[in-house]
Amino acid sequence: MSQAEAQQRHATLAAQIRAHDHAYYVESRPTISDAAYDTLYRELLDLEKSFPELTTPDSPSQRIGGIPASEFASVRHAAPMLSLDNTYSEGEMREFVRRVQKLLSGEPLAWTVEPKIDGLAVTLRYEHGLLTVGATRGDGATGDDITANLKTIRTVPLRLADANPPVVLEVRGEIYLPAAGFKKLNAEREAAGEEKFANPRNAAAGSLKMLDPKLVAKRPLAFFAYATGQIEGADAPVTQQVLLGWLKTLSFQTPEKLWICASEEELVAAIYELDQLRHGFGYETDGAVIKLNDLAQRERCGATSKAPRWAMAYKYAAEQAETRLRAITIQVGRTGALTPVAELEPVFVAGSTVSRATLHNEEELHRKDIRIGDTVIIEKAGEVIPAVVRVVLEKRPADARAFDFPKTCPECGSKIARTALASEAEAGVVWRCANSDCPAQVRGRLEHWCARGAMDIEGGGEALVAQLVKHGLVLDVAELYQLKLAELAALERMGEKSAQNFIDGVAASKARDLWRLLHGLGIPQIGVGGAKALARKFATLNDLMDAGAPELTAIRDVGEITAAAVVGWFSDPLNHKLIERLGKAGLNFRSELYQPAAAAGPLTGKTLVLTGTLPTLTREQATAKIEAAGGKVSGSVSKKTDYVLAGTDAGSKLEKAEKLGVKVIDEAAFLGLLGS
């Protein structure tokens, strides 16, 4: 095939695939069989293999996902991404309408009502019709650049369907996970022993945060467009209705229902109607968004720093249902907390069947006077965890009986106490098992360690962890690193292959960055955000362990409570032992997020790699000197390395430095750089 023929054929294939994608994903009206579609797609990929220059950024092949990133870059939004004021009250909604009316001194107004999709706001920037940048909302002024992830989503057009596109068009809308995709994803995770997502919104957020777009491509995410940001080289639409119509012609999916209302009464009716319809939508909605239709009028209303004055979200109350409480069981968590759980007669509410609900704690049980056999009202908003709201007293049977809260841990029989974790909001409310070796706590800690936001060990979910603990193979996280293939493969439902995969996953986790380890340790008060904040401040785990509360509270976002929790955790000799064993197992204790205090030194902005034995300095001393001089130490040589500091017996790192042309220095030259 000649170059010209290939180009012609490529254009035809790309256009066909785009049209089929649009029909399937945006219009839910498939125009081709899966097999025939795959054939077209394969031909396109083959063609791009032979003629790589045909792989343009908007080719359908770009949806498969590119190379993983190590972190997301920040993007400044051309126009700020505001949030919406919201209310659950009809009265407040009416007040809002009157407020706007007053603001516009009684001009005739028209309102739009559209579904509030429960997902994540993103902005897509198109330049000359091509998608250039896609970003999260972030703090409204700057977000994360997640272009590669967004490109994998079929309802995000890679190019606008416009022969004469605007110079710049920012399209804003919501990334969401349809209900069917959410079910499938959670079923897969359960089968793989992974933690399930609490709701579609969390699943969508978790998916967009993944650094490997190939994994994102496997999540059936979708996009609804509902607003624009910067527009250049095209007339801005005059109303919301025109705006949505325009976005639709550009091949975006837009909210499937739109009401135009001229009065408060019409608004109330539309909101009610939407509530009736939304359960049939196939995705989560949590409210109605009311906007002024006319964009010129919006302009005159303006905005506060957080939200426009011309729009409001009316949120629907969580759905309730009545059912019978069959039994109360106790769940023991990672921190030993005993949580009472309602075992219910299955009932359908807010799109799914519910058979368990949380009862929070003993006090809550008493306060609501919940008894076994009672008829109860449960509440659930969409896919969130259901809760028991109250008892229907009129229906209480004569034999309903109060629940005897256990006096000992139902898992291990140990004493329980109302000890609060450092700082717990409801201090003294939660009963906790006092035995830190309680199997339920051990399981919880292991699952937490393996979780994606922590050490990210594939396969380390509920099912496998339960077996490991039951058979006494692993009793704490350090023991994971001593696990033998043969003992693992001997477990039920564990083949040689999955056993090997898990062992490999555990081994790979040794190199994880310090913040993951900190989060995985389950230090009270330290979630992902806190772990990252600590890892930015301290170069190594040992530095963190040496720190006192004043050093910790100096970190933004770390308060006294958190500082006390961290210091307290590290002062426990048992935790010291654990860390020592993790160190012996070869886990990485260095932080790649570490940002030395901006104190500029001769090595500010420089990255050095150490190799071999230096004549006078130990590795630790050299590292300390580098960091004190504003530099960073990295474990491997790359093009970004500024110097390789080499001693005797330097190995492959030296070779690599020479190959990449990275400057190699000895100790004397190093000390010279420092001016010492």
Q: In 22-173, which ranges are continuous DSSP H helix?
A: 34-50, 90-103, 147-151
Should residue 298 be labelled a site residue for ligand IVH when binding is judged by CB under 6 A?
A: no
Min dist CB 295 to ligand IVH, Å, is: 12
Q: Which of 289, 433, 478, 523 binds ligand IVH (CB under 6 A)?
A: 289
In this complex, which beta carbon is closest to ligand IVH, that of residue 288 or of residue 654?
A: 288
Cβ–Cβ contacts within 10 Å for residue 554, how many?
A: 12
In this complex, which beta carbon is closest to ligand IVH, that of residue 302 or of residue 672?
A: 302
Q: Let me know if 102 is a catalytic residue.
A: no
Min dist CB 379 to ligand IVH, Å, is: 21
430: alpha, beta or left, given left = phi > 0 and alpha = psi -120 to 50?
A: beta
Enumerate residues 177-236 that contact ligand IVH by CB under 6 A: 226-227
Min dist CB 87 to ligand IVH, Å, is: 11
Bridge partners, residue 341, by sequence: 329, 358
Should residue 292 be labelled a site residue for ligand IVH when binding is judged by CB under 6 A?
A: no
Whole-angstrom Cα distance, residue 200 to residue 27? 21
- Which DSSP symbol is given to 308? B
In this complex, which beta carbon is closest to ligand IVH, that of residue 84 or of residue 216?
A: 84
Structure-token pair, residue 577: 């032992």
In this complex, which beta carbon is closest to ligand IVH, that of residue 207 or of residue 509?
A: 207
Cβ–Cβ contacts within 10 Å for residue 40, how many?
A: 17
Enumerate residues 98-127 that contact ligand IVH by CB under 6 A: 114, 116-117, 121
Should residue 311 be labelled a site residue for ligand IVH when binding is judged by CB under 6 A?
A: yes
In this complex, which beta carbon is closest to ligand IVH, that of residue 86 or of residue 320?
A: 86
Q: Are 253 and 225 in contact (CB under 8 A)?
A: yes
In this complex, which beta carbon is closest to ligand IVH, that of residue 114 or of residue 627?
A: 114
Kindly indicate which of the ranges 268-276, 308-316, 355-363, 468-476 contains the residues binding ligand IVH, using the contact rule CB under 6 A.
Answer: 308-316
Instruction: Measure the N-to-C terminal CA separation of the chain; round to a whole number of Å.
Output: 66
Min dist CB 141 to ligand IVH, Å, is: 14
Structure-token pair, residue 148: 């590669």
Counted residue by residue, the chain has a size of 676
Should residue 541 be labelled a site residue for ligand IVH when binding is judged by CB under 6 A?
A: no
Kindly indicate which of the ranges 82-90, 150-158, 411-419, 507-515 contains the residues binding ligand IVH, using the contact rule CB under 6 A.
Answer: 82-90
Q: Are 432 and 417 in contact (CB under 8 A)?
A: yes
Should residue 447 be labelled a site residue for ligand IVH when binding is judged by CB under 6 A?
A: no
**103 Cβ contact partners less than 8 Å away, ≥ 6 residues apart:** 300, 301, 309
Min dist CB 575 to ligand IVH, Å, is: 40
Bridge partners, residue 378, by sequence: 321, 388
Give the C-alpha distances (Å, rounded to integers) separating 123 from 82, 105, 135: 11, 33, 5
Kindly indicate which of the ranges 21-29, 228-236, 306-314, 637-645 contains the residues binding ligand IVH, using the contact rule CB under 6 A.
Answer: 306-314
Should residue 310 be labelled a site residue for ligand IVH when binding is judged by CB under 6 A?
A: no
In this complex, which beta carbon is closest to ligand IVH, that of residue 268 or of residue 301?
A: 301
Min dist CB 289 to ligand IVH, Å, is: 4
Nearest CA to 64 out of 204, 158, 203 is that of 158
Write down the catalytic residue from 49, 102, 116, 395.
Answer: 116
Structure-token pair, residue 643: 């110097």
Whole-angstrom Cα distance, residue 484 to residue 150? 40
Q: CA angle 122-126-127, nearest 5°?
A: 150
Number of chain residues interacting with ligand IVH (CB under 6 A): 16
In this complex, which beta carbon is closest to ligand IVH, that of residue 173 or of residue 386?
A: 173
Whole-angstrom Cα distance, residue 383 to residue 466? 26
**Widest pairwise Cα distance in the chain:** 88
Enumerate residues 246-265 that contact ligand IVH by CB under 6 A: 255
Should residue 278 be labelled a site residue for ligand IVH when binding is judged by CB under 6 A?
A: no
Should residue 174 be labelled a site residue for ligand IVH when binding is judged by CB under 6 A?
A: yes
Should residue 39 be labelled a site residue for ligand IVH when binding is judged by CB under 6 A?
A: no
Min dist CB 388 to ligand IVH, Å, is: 28
Whole-angstrom Cα distance, residue 434 to residue 658? 57
Should residue 138 be labelled a site residue for ligand IVH when binding is judged by CB under 6 A?
A: no
Nearest CA to 228 out of 238, 219, 217 is that of 238
Q: Which residues bind ligand IVH (CB under 6 A)?
A: 82-84, 86, 114, 116-117, 121, 174, 226-227, 255, 289, 308, 311, 313
| Residues that are catalytic | 116
